Amino acid sequence: MTLAAPDAACGASPTDTATVVVSRPDTCTNGTLTVYYTTGGAATNNVNYTASPASGSLVLTAGQTSATIVITPKAPYNLGAPKDFTVSLTNGPYVIGTPGSATCTLRTIFGDWAKKAQIQFSGYNRTETLTNFPALVLLGTNVSGFSYSALASPANGGDLRFSSATGDELNYEVDSWNTNGTSYVWVQVPALGSSNDTILAYWGNPAQTIPPACTTNGATWDTLYDGVWHMKQTNVVDSTTNHYNGTATANVSATNGPIGGADYFVGGGGATTFYVDVSPLPERTSFTYSGYLCPLAVNNNIFEQRNPDRDLYMNNGQLTLGWYNGGVITASGGSMASGSWYHVAGTWDGTSQRVFVNGVQVGSATPVAQTAGTPIWSRIGVADDGGGWTNNSTLAILRADRASIPFF
């Protein structure tokens, strides 16, 4: 029996495996044979990697000359120097030939990337742990060691990658890419629970210049999100897998926002003059509408859904979440000045309406739940009848999700 490793390295990514092949002569294949092996070295089986078959033995059936042992890297992945380990044949009803062992290498995760940097979420000060949370990462001179010139594909950041602190590759989506300044990237963090939590960014790999599928297929956004619109163009694109893309009216124009682009809504009455149609989102028994708003008037609609009729809007300078259920029911509060950006959110958990400005709850109500209906349309920036609404405002990234948790 002999042993060889045609692919002796693993661990450059979570799916990068090594293979070790056990062989016997063609003249010795008349019967079934169980072959035994062991592992050793700086990397440890079932700690740094798993060897399969996991039993330490494999079976060659009659007529079979060879079988393969697959070495798969195991979380937490190797973030330090490469580690060598051996796979060796042990005694059995056969003669061990030469070579009877093979040396394999557990490589550093993302070891083919020339540069990496740690990113810490030092600003997170909430008590809850957020799961699969799309955290905004700013890339530029604020990240130690980062430079666009060190990317193999600086024009679009195609070789950019992210991993958790333990080496799991993370989904991400580029919101805006600016080689002359700061780029905005949404990274799906598996668990964000404290200001000490970190992820890793990697760049500088000329063999990996095509952006991964997650940058365009919606994988960065958890299925809790019904729609995510970055407002980078007037006919907005939904970043989730639901594809609730929008069609804008003539009085919507693209402008700058706090995170890349934004849309400016200008109108003075008439429901058809200043909205983006993304309809219809599904009916939810709990939900959150959230986004960034720069009001230029005291009355502004942000997001509205019809049947049942519900609306996140600004009324006389206050953020309001309201709906119609035999009468208008609202929760409102806060005070927002013209010309400043605010993060706004309205939530319903089946019992309470709540509104938030910049992550602080400013109002609540406990109305009777709406009667369920069949959604007719969903619109960004619309006034339902146009009466008295100027709707001079700018909106950046807007989200609708089926959970009653405001995005901070």
Place of tokens 């429901």: 271
Q: Which residue shows structure tokens 């959150």?
A: 288
Half-sphere exposure of 373 (CA within 13 A, CB side): 17
Q: Where are the domains of the chain?
A: 2-106, 115-215, 225-401
Check if the beta carbon of residue 299 is closer than 8 Å to that of residue 386.
no
Burial of 366 (0-12, 13-18, 19+ CB in 10 A): exposed
Q: Do the first three CATH levels of 2-106 and 225-401 match, i.e. the same topology?
A: no
Long-range contacts of 228-231 (CB under 8 A, 24+ apart): 228/397, 228/398, 228/399, 229/276, 229/278, 229/380, 229/397, 229/398, 229/399, 230/175, 230/259, 230/260, 230/261, 230/396, 230/397, 231/257, 231/261, 231/262, 231/263, 231/395, 231/396, 231/397, 231/398
Helix (H, G, I), strand (E, B) or coil at 213: helix
Tracing tokens 């990496």 back to the chain, one arrives at: 116
DSSP string, 285-334: SSEEEEEEEEESSS-EEEEEEETTTEEEEEETTEEEEEEESSSEEEEEE-
Say if residues 307 and 373 touch (Cβ distance below 8 Å).
yes
Average pLDDT, rounded, for the chain:
90
- CA pair distance 278, 275, nearest whole angstrom: 9
C-alpha torsion 69→71→72→74, nearest 10: 130
Reported as type and span, the H/E element at residue 344 is: strand 342-348
The Cα 162–Cα 308 span in angstroms is 41
Query: Alpha-carbon distance 169 to 147, whole Å?
Result: 21
Q: What is the pLDDT of residue 272?
A: 46
Q: What's the fold here for domain 225-401?
A: Jelly Rolls (2.60.120)
Fold of 2-106: Immunoglobulin-like (2.60.40)
> pLDDT at position 268, please?
56
Q: What is the pLDDT along the chain (408 residues), one digit of tens a residue?
A: 999 999 999 998 888 999 999 999 999 999 999 999 999 999 999 999 999 998 899 999 999 999 999 999 998 888 888 999 999 999 999 999 999 999 999 999 998 999 999 999 998 988 889 999 999 999 999 998 999 999 999 999 999 999 999 899 999 999 999 999 999 999 999 999 999 999 999 999 999 999 999 999 999 999 999 999 999 899 999 999 999 999 987 778 889 899 888 998 876 554 445 678 888 898 888 999 999 999 888 888 889 888 888 889 988 899 999 987 777 888 999 999 989 999 999 999 989 999 999 999 999 999 887 877 888 888 888 755 544 455 567 888 888 887 666 555
